[in-house]
Amino acid sequence: MSADITKLRGSVAIVGAAESDELGRLPHKSSLQLHMEATHNALADAGLKKSDIDAVFTSGRNMANDVPEYLGIRPRFIGGTQVGGCSFILHVEHAMAAINAGLCEVALITHGESGYSRIAMPAPRWGDDSTNNQFELPYGTSGPATGYGFLATRHMHTYGTTSEQLAEVAVATRKWAALNPKAFARDPLTIDDVLNSRMICWPFHLLDCCLVTDAGGAVIVTSAERARDLKTKPVYVLGTGECATHMMVSQMPSFVSWDAARISGERAFRMSGVKQADIDVAEFYDAFTIVPMLALEELGFCKPGESGAFVSGQRTAPGGDFPMNTNGGGLSYTHTGMYGIFTIIEAVRQLRVECGPRQVANAKTAICHGTGGTWSAAATMIVSTER
């Protein structure tokens, strides 16, 4: 790669971040209302007006049309890249590119999804002649719970990773959720609780799987220069990366490694100049317990195959030496179906020291990482209070 990506380091900042008014199971709110609430709250957080927004990034079928109409915004730069739940992390990179090119100045990245209640949700469906319908759906796949498991099974076979180690992630994440009043599931959880919960799709028990909730989230990105004039402490984007490798999980290049995550992570670290040891807080997409474990490996926090040992002993829980998913994650806080925006919101709050009892002491640098599709895409972002 010849482009000098390091010149983008610190060129933009996140200046607003917020969820919808409520999170959870919200049959009284449409998906677009969740977008609206999150956007409204993120603008208030940034101290900006709707008229300041000149770019809108969002994900989901036709959402890049729907959101501006609903909010009454006329963006002059539109980003609708849809690669699943990590899309919003990847949108930060796209917003950074557009801002640096002078095509926009204040970018709204917004998500709203009635993932549980399904109020005013688009209804995507594979065509009968799609590749999915020909080569995967006839075998009884039922969404992510089936597809994500293939890598978990192969990882267990290759490295001896155990169900107990997967359960460590769910237990540690629940401990963070207990400290977050907005988290959906806050009751204490033990490893036995996870292992004794009903089997959804071996090797995943119910409590290895994320929640299904309704929620919105939004962040506002602008140039580092503009950020200086705003009321919030800027959270600078030091590095970003993205990659996609497949659509159907059967076409995943490897079932023991996650190539998209490794490639996206390598670029984010290279752009940022930050080392793994410099990361104070990790917000990793946890659709299933195995997903953040693979992120730990592919982003270089441990070696391939060592994530089971890494997460053992509640190392990622409050008080552990690797604070991970400090909002309670998709496993316990909220998971609409596309969780990525919430990794950003929590990273911003941690760096701004707004997290109360779950605040990680001296948090200056955070990493956000997500998956999209079924291990299909990945996006990584490193943010810091210091440029």
Partner 1 sequence: MADTYTGPVPKPTPETQPFWDATKQHTLKIQRCGDCARHYFYPRPLCPHCLSRNVAWVAVSGRGKLHSFVINHRAPRGFPATGPFVIGIVELDEGVKMMSNIVGVEPDPMLLRCDMPVEVVFEDITDEITLPKFKPVTPSFKPVTR
Is 139 considered catalytic here? no
The maximal CA–CA distance of the chain, rounded, in angstroms, is 56
Binding string, residues 185-224; x marks residues near partner 1 by CB under 8 A: -------------xxxxxxx--------------------
Is 333 considered catalytic here? yes
Q: SS3 for 133?
A: helix
Q: Based on the shown chain and the rule CB under 8 A, indicate whether residue 159 belongs to the binding site for partner 1.
A: no
Work out which of 62, 142, 190, 196 binds partner 1, going by CB under 8 A. 142
Q: How big is the site for partner 1, counted in residues (CB under 8 A)? A: 38
Cα(219)–Cα(227) distance, integer angstroms: 13
Under 8 Å between Cβ of 64 and 80 = yes
For partner 1, the closer of residues 200 and 224 by Cβ is 200
Instruction: Name the active-site residue from 148, 236, 333, 339.
Output: 333
Q: Based on the shown chain and the rule CB under 8 A, indicate whether residue 131 belongs to the binding site for partner 1.
A: yes
For partner 1, the closer of residues 88 and 258 by Cβ is 258
Q: Based on the shown chain and the rule CB under 8 A, indicate whether residue 50 belongs to the binding site for partner 1.
A: no
CB of 162 to partner 1, least distance (A): 8
Q: Based on the shown chain and the rule CB under 8 A, indicate whether residue 149 belongs to the binding site for partner 1.
A: yes
List Cβ<8 Å contacts ≥24 apart for 252-255.
Answer: 252/150, 252/151, 252/374, 252/375, 252/376, 255/150, 255/151, 255/153, 255/154
| H or E element that contains 37 | helix 31-46
Instruction: Name the active-site residue from 116, 148, 236, 285.
Output: 285
Tokens of 88: 């919003």
Pairing outcome for strands 77-79 and 235-244: unpaired
CB of 79 to partner 1, least distance (A): 28
How far is C-alpha 179 from the geometric centre of its chain's CA atoms?
20
Residues noted as catalytic: 285, 333
**Which spans of this chain sit near partner 1 (rule: CB under 8 A)?**
127-129, 131, 133-143, 145-146, 149-151, 153-154, 156-158, 163, 198-204, 248-251, 255
